[in-house]
Chains A and B, each alone.
Chain A
Amino acid sequence: MLILECPYCGVKADETELHGGGEAHLKRYGPGSSDADFEGYLFHRKNPKGVHFERWRHVNGCGKWFHAARCTATLEVFGTYPAQVTAPPKALINKIKKKRPDWEGWT
């Protein structure tokens, strides 16, 4: 059972307090988008073995959505940050690169 620190309320929350929301930083494609773009947005996910950026909601807590960078193989958590961004914070990316020199980057 994972522990993730909610970046809003600072609580180190047990997984039972949280609700997972899948891959983070998806770009929404709405009306006017191509079939391929829309299909990608709806259905295509990276599902990496390794560093992954994902969405979580502190549902049995402050109710806020946040993002976590986590290794899906070892479950190491590199950091959490608020959801109101379109890309992970630079400092976090640098931290992950330092820990995982072979990581291909988040995009």
Chain B
Amino acid sequence: MSTRLATGGRLIDRNSRVEFTFNGKRFTGHSGDTLASALLANDQMLMGRSFKYHRPRSVIASGPEEANALVALGHDAKMEPNARATTTELFEGLSAKSQNHWPSLDYDIGALNTAIARFLPAGFYYKTFIHPRPFWKHVFEPFIRQSAGLGPAPKQKDPDRYEHFYAFADLVIIGGGVAGLHAARVAGEAGLRVIVMEQTSAWGGRSLVDGGTIEGVSVEAWVNATVEALESMENVTLRLRCMGAGVYDHGYMLGYERLTDHAPVDDMPRHRLWRVRAGQVLSATGAVERPLSFAGNDVPGVMLASALRDYVVNFGVSAGDRTVVVTNNDDAYRTAIALHEAGLSVPAVIDARSETDGELPNKVRDLGIRVETGKAIAKVKGGKRVKSVGLCLQAGEGAVLEEIPCEAVAMSGGWSPIVHFWSHTGGKLTWDADAAMFRPDHARAPTGEEGQQNQGIAGAANGEMTLGAALSDAHAQAREAVKRAKAKLPGTASPKGEAPAEAPLAPVWIMPQGANAKLRAKMWLDFQNDVKVSDVQLAAREGYESVEHTKRYTTLGMATDQGKLSNINGLAILSDAIGADIPKVGTTTFRPPYTPISMGSIAGEARGEIFQPLRRTPMHEWHEDNKAYWEPVGQWRRPYCYPRSGETHTEAVNREVINTRENLGLLDASTLGKLLVKGPDAGKFLDLMYTNMMSNLKVGRCRYGLMCSENGFLSDDGVVARIDEDTWLCHTTSGGADRIHAHMEEWLQTEWWDMKVHVANLTEQYAQIAVVGPHARDVLEDLDGMDVSKEALGFMDWADGELAGIPVRVFRISFSGELSYEIATPAARGLELWEKLHEAGKAYGVMAYGTEALHIMRAEKGFIMIGDETDGTVIPQDLGLNWAISKKKEDFIGKRAQERTFMTNPDRWKLVGLETVVPEEVLTDGAYATADGANGNGQGNVQGRVTSTYFSPTLNRGIAMGLVHHGPERMGDVLDFPTTDGRVIKAKIVDPVFYDKDGEKQNV
């Protein structure tokens, strides 16, 4: 069993007692523990199940590369799935659950998959679930969805806070091991602004466990002294629990700081995302140990040799009394020594190399530990726990020479430098065949905005695996970084690190090398996704030669650890299977983030009310006071309607429509875009912007205009007023003001820059109020000020003046078909005018109306709405707006496109009105009109679709607009519009103007 040892554990405080639960069971640990170490200390070996076969799994690693021990932390809204037990620091009250099992971790029904594993090979889903087609939807998919998934995401809103932190640095060092710390010292003494990010809670990295001396003192003493020196430098920022997440273009990089995960509190953000612009980045990220591929290498109790050593040295935790070490290198012998020193038994070190004569192996031999060279593990016996390993010859096929009983296996297949950050922005790698690893190619380093090298990499991450070499490399690489930062080199001395010399490893990708198919099918590469040696070999046989294709076909390296453990082993197997060198096969792409970061940290403060700015009109508070039901329109909020007590929204909308048509309605139209276009060439410019002529508009007059994209599609519409000889005021849609402003600027700056024109967006400078209804003129006359009679201010005229002492510009335009004035006033006077109009309007039964009443009234008049009748594929000609397209103009944006054959095709769907045959029925928005026959895919043909649909309270019936094949020529035809609930609504093609066809009401 795994247990806490009586002594040892450099990170834990044995006097503390921390209570936590796992799957509802209560456990205790010590402060300083990780969840993984505390579970092991409590003999809770089983921590999760694998994704595909639901195999029982324990922890395999001790750091962020962990692939098995993924847990769900916390409850309800604070639940976080897929947390790695190895990087989760223990705190009082921590609650964790294992994942991917049903009904329980101990007895999992999905584990049956492992019994039929032979029938679940690589590419199984692609191969099996294609036919018969209905089976996919009704049988396979529901089953897979039920059994798949690594922990559900919480459904509630995340109650935690997150923040972004912006920083600038000359040098960001990722990794606070000995290499990173020394590099920080060199750069700090050179005067650079340095940030050092260390993902764990302690400085020093692996060397503290692996031992040796630096400058004649222990690693620990050296680390403490160095950190102290760095802390005294004002230009050096040190952050623990802060992981380098990714390096991006031009020195932009992200750090992911976990502020309170280890000690939850309510008054601090949980995570902080560092958004840093770095002149230089230096990876001192160390290396990650590789598993060995032998049968049963996933049985709980089989761990990386370094992890076993970590658990003993850092946490005083043993995975079992007897541990067999299996290796192809010298480093793993450190684990045998550490276990021996902790009083545990190492029955054997199994070394695949034919001979070993290094300092470390000899020390192990001197300790009386049996060393078997040229040997391998044929198979691990055990289900939920290791029982024994079968010893065999590495050169053979796996005949068992001897069963060695044990509770744990420490495996080491060598080390892979962590080159992620180097690779994120295009740094290249080179295969070092002697060390069997990809290492950074300094001749092809990542580059920045001027093509200059802007990243370095040092220590074990640079392939320098021993203490002495790592330190001198860190020194050299830090000096290079200082030079690249154009600072003066400091006199910092290179520290001398001493540790036992290590003999070269022997690349071992399969153990034993002649293992048969049955054994290969039990050799795990990707532990989480259950990808085995046999799967990669099968993929190769089936023709997958590219490592990127093999990855996707087998899911190798697609688990949450993103191939940290499996990548090199997998591609070595692939390269062997297709007979190509490893460098030819290459690696898959390293992409940020280094390990998953929380969605909350990415969002930062941008959530809830401050997700984006809210734009308020000058009358916003009045609407709020009058119980407006809001509708978001871009960043604006507009009243949809103003429901009174007891009223539904529909009732409120209908009341607002009827009252506006019969008495007087007021609309807050301030959101309408208002672009002032001014200059000697303004008329010429607007003639190019609009489909119709604007240069010949008379001062004092308004004209409705259309704007298209260069593709010919209708993009915006609105009323243009000519203010004076060289000034036009262009109204745009509410949502379109910024876009159309940008559109005008683009053409002015990049195509017609010789034109003398300025465009200013005045949208927020003015409040605008639509005064609408038969009593519109009466109320304005009551306000006193300017002449608004038909003679003084005819339809489509505008005039400046005063109303109730407030300066106004009055446009006599109508979007409702009623007598209507749109009144602009400086924003600061908007609310005052709005209230005065309400007061004076009382005599005429005034009511405010919202956007839905506006929509219904415009639809009753057959006026189009951008975004309803248009969707980016509709040209003005489709909407019967030919009258607004100038034939005289040589050019306008969209003119050439509208001459293309597809645009002039008479089969284009055209705008019509639609009247439901049963007046009470209302068509569904977006519904299609069916036609006879079917298309090539067996789908029924269609001949039109609904673009706007409403119940008209004015006409007391359902009305709609739609685009219909040959529509305008088919007046009176009845079309079928099926609904999603199986009914069919019949509608008759009619003229789109439903109300006051001759425009008598607006023209009084």
Cross-chain pair count, CB within 8 angstroms: 68
Q: Does the CB pair B900–A2 fall under 8 Å?
A: no
Contacts of A84 on B, CB cut-off 8 Å?
A: 749-750, 753
B896 within 8 A of A: yes
Provide the bound-state CA to CA distance between A59 and B743, in Å. 12
A76 touching B891 in the complex, CB below 8 Å, given contacts A1-B249, A21-B746, A35-B900: no
The stretch of B446-454, B487-495, B560-568, B996-1004 that contacts the partner chain = B446-454
Question: Taking chain B's interface residues, is the majority helix, strand, or loop, or is none over half, making it mixed?
Answer: loop
Q: Which of B674-696 contact A (CB under 8 A)?
A: none
Tell me which of A38, A63, A64, A75 contacts B900 (CB under 8 A).
Answer: A38
Nearest-neighbour CB distance to chain B for A89, whole angstroms, equals 16
A28 contacts across to B, CB distance below 8 A: 751
User: CB distance A76 to B896 under 8 Å?
Assistant: no
Give, as a whole number of angstroms, the nearest-CB distance from B997 to chain A.
Answer: 35
Please tell me which one of the listed residues A2, A42, A71, A83 contacts residue B711 in the complex, with CB atoms under 8 A apart: A42
With a CB–CB cut-off of 8 A, which chain A residues contact B277?
3, 14
Residue A53 CB within 8 A of the other chain:
no
- Chain A residues, CB < 8 A from B890: 31
Contact B749 A77 (CB under 8 A): no
Q: Are A55 and B750 in contact (CB under 8 A)?
A: yes
User: Which chain B residues border A46 with CB–CB below 8 Å?
Assistant: none
* CB–CB B753/A31 < 8 A: no
Cβ contact within 8 Å between B426 and A74: yes
Task: Give chain B interface residues in 266-311, CB to chain A under 8 Å.
Answer: 277
Query: Do B746 and A38 touch across chains, with their CB atoms under 8 A apart?
Result: no
CB atoms of A77 and B891 under 8 A apart: no
Contacts A1-B248, A2-B249, A31-B895: A77 and B450 contacting too (C-beta < 8 A)?
A: yes
B746 contacts A57, CB within 8 Å? Answer: yes
CB of B250 closer than 8 Å to a CB of A: yes
Judge if B897 is at the interface, Cβ distance under 8 Å. Answer: yes
Task: Please name the residue on chain B nearest to A83 by beta carbon.
Answer: B750
- A65 contacts which of B449, B450, B750 (Cβ < 8 Å)? B750
Contact of B576 with A by CB under 8 A:
no
In whole angstroms, what is the CA distance A101 to B624 when docked?
A: 66
Question: 1/0 contact trace for A48-77 toward B, CB 8 Å?
Answer: 000000010101000111000001011111
Chain B hits for A83, CB < 8 A: 749-750, 753
Q: How far is the CB of A21 from chain B (nearest CB, A)?
A: 7
Rounded to whole angstroms, the CA-CA distance of A32 and B450 in the bound complex is 43
A31 touching B896 in the complex, CB below 8 Å, given contacts A75-B249, A84-B749: yes
Assuming the contacts A29-B896, A42-B710, asked whether A3 and B745 have C-beta atoms less than 8 A apart, the reply is no
Contacts of B252 in A (CB 8 A): 1
In the bound complex, residues from chain B placing their C-beta under 8 Å from that of A15 are 249
Q: Report the count of interface residues on A (CB-CB < 8 A).
A: 31
Please give, as numbers and ranges, the residues of chain B lying within 8 Å of A77 by CB-CB distance: 449-450
List, in ascending order, chain A residues with CB within 8 A of B745's CB.
57, 63, 65
**Nearest-CB distance from B383 to chain A (Å)?**
50
Within 8 A of B (CB), among A20-43: 21, 28-33, 35, 38, 42
Contact status A75-B896, CB under 8 Å: no
B450 touches A76 (CB 8 A): yes
- Which residues from 860 to 913 on chain B have a C-beta closer than 8 Å to any C-beta of chain A? 890-891, 895-897, 899-900
Q: Enumerate chain B residues within 8 angstroms of A65, measured Cβ to Cβ.
A: 745-746, 749-750
Which residues of B from 718 to 776 have beta carbons under 8 Å from A?
742, 745-746, 749-751, 753
Interface majority SS (helix, strand, loop, mixed), chain A: loop
Give A86 Cβ to nearest chain B Cβ, in Å.
10
Given contacts A2-B249, A63-B745, A83-B749, contact A33 B896 (CB under 8 A): yes
Nearest to A38 among chain B residues (CB) is B896
Q: How many residues of B contact A (CB 8 A)?
A: 27
Contact of B742 among A35, A55, A59, A99 (CB under 8 A): A59
- A-chain residues with CB within 8 Å of residue B896 when the two chains form the complex: 29-33, 38
Give the one of A1, A55, A73 with max B CB within 10 A. Answer: A1
Bound complex: CA A74 to CA B444 (Å): 11
Closest-by-CB residue of B relative to A70 is B449
With A2-B249, A42-B710 known as contacts, the answer to whether A76 contacts B451 (CB < 8 A) is yes
Contact for B447 among A30, A33, A76, CB less than 8 A: A76
How many Å lie between the Cα of A38 and that of B749 in the bound state? 21
Query: Closest CB of chain A to B206's CB: distance in Å?
Result: 32
Judging by beta carbons under 8 Å apart, are B451 and A31 in contact?
no
- Residues of B close to A42: CB separation below 8 A: 710-711, 897
Instruction: Give complex CA distance A32, B711 in Å.
Output: 15
Chain B residues whose C-beta falls within 8 Å of the C-beta of A59 in the assembled complex: 742
Q: Are B449 and A2 in contact (CB under 8 A)?
A: yes
For chain B residues 423-438, which have a beta carbon within 8 Å of chain A? 426
Q: How distant is the Cα of A3 from the Cα of B449 in the complex, in angstroms?
A: 7
Chain B min CB distance to A30 (Å): 5
Decide if A30 touches B450 in the complex (CB within 8 Å). Answer: no
A77 to B449, CA, bound (A): 5
Contact partner, A76, options B449, B711, B900, Cβ 8 Å: B449
Cα A30 to Cα B249 in complex, Å, equals: 38
Determine if B899 and A74 form an interchain contact, defined as CB atoms under 8 angstroms apart.
no
Q: Which residue of chain A lies nearest to B749 when distances are taken between CB atoms in the complex?
A: A65
A19 partner residues in chain B, CB cutoff 8 A: 742
Cα–Cα distance between A21 and B742 once the two chains are bound (Å):
12
Query: A77's closest neighbor in chain B, by CB?
Result: B449
- Chain A's closest residue to B275 (CB) is A1
Min CB gap B160→A, angstroms: 25
Note all chain A residues with C-beta closer than 8 A to B749: 64-65, 83-84
Contact: A75 with B899, CB < 8 Å? no
Minimum CB distance partner of B688 in chain A: A30
Residue numbers in A under 8 Å from B742 (CB-CB): 19, 57, 59
| A74-B900 Cα distance, complex, nearest whole Å | 39
Question: Whole-angstrom distance from the CB of B725 to the nearest CB of chain A?
Answer: 26
Q: How far is B249's CA from A77's CA once the two chains are assembled, in angstroms?
A: 11
- CB proximity to A under 8 Å, residues B199-256: 248-250, 252
B504 CB, min distance to chain A CBs, angstroms:
35
Q: How far is the CA of A74 from the CA of B895 in the complex (A)?
A: 39
With a cutoff of 8 Å between Cβ atoms, the chain B residues found around residue A71 in the complex are: 451
Closest B residue to A43 using CB positions: B711
The answer to whether A1 and B250 have CB atoms under 8 Å apart is yes
| Binary contact readout B376-398 vs A (1 if CB under 8 angstroms, 0 otherwise) | 00000000000000000000000
- CB-contacts of B605-623 with A (<8 A): none
Complex Cα distance A38/B426, Å?
A: 38
A106 to B556, CA, bound (A): 42
Interface pair A31/B891, CB less than 8 Å apart: yes
* Bound CA span A84–B448, Å: 28
Closest to A29 in B: B896
Query: How far is B738's CA from A59's CA once the two chains are assembled, in angstroms?
Result: 11
Q: Given A65-B750, A74-B426, A75-B249, is A99 in contact with B451 using a C-beta cutoff of 8 Å?
A: yes
> How far in angstroms is the closest Cβ of chain B from A48?
17
Return B409 CB to nearest CB of chain A, in Å. 45
- Complex CA gap A99/B745 in Å reads 34
A57, B751: Cα distance in complex, Å: 14
Contacts of B751 in A (CB 8 A): 28
Q: Which residues of A contact B248 (CB under 8 A)?
A: 1
Within the complex, the shortest CB–CB distance from B526 to chain A, in Å, comes to: 31
Q: Which B-chain residue is minimally distant from A35 (CB atoms)?
A: B900
The answer for the CA separation of A2 and B451 in the assembled complex, in Å, is 13
Instruction: Give 30 pairs: A residue, B residue, CB < 8 Å, sorted on A.
Output: A1-B248, A1-B252, A2-B249, A2-B449, A3-B277, A14-B277, A30-B891, A31-B891, A31-B896, A31-B899, A32-B896, A35-B900, A38-B896, A38-B900, A42-B711, A42-B897, A57-B742, A63-B745, A64-B749, A65-B745, A65-B750, A73-B426, A74-B426, A74-B451, A75-B249, A75-B449, A76-B447, A77-B450, A83-B753, A84-B749
Given contacts A21-B750, A57-B745, A99-B451, 7 further A-B contacts (CB under 8 A): A1-B248, A2-B249, A19-B742, A42-B897, A63-B745, A77-B450, A83-B749
Q: Which residues of B contact A (CB under 8 A)?
A: 248-250, 252, 277, 426, 447-451, 710-711, 742, 745-746, 749-751, 753, 890-891, 895-897, 899-900
**7 closest residue pairs by CB, A with B:** A76-B451, A1-B252, A84-B753, A65-B749, A3-B250, A31-B896, A83-B750
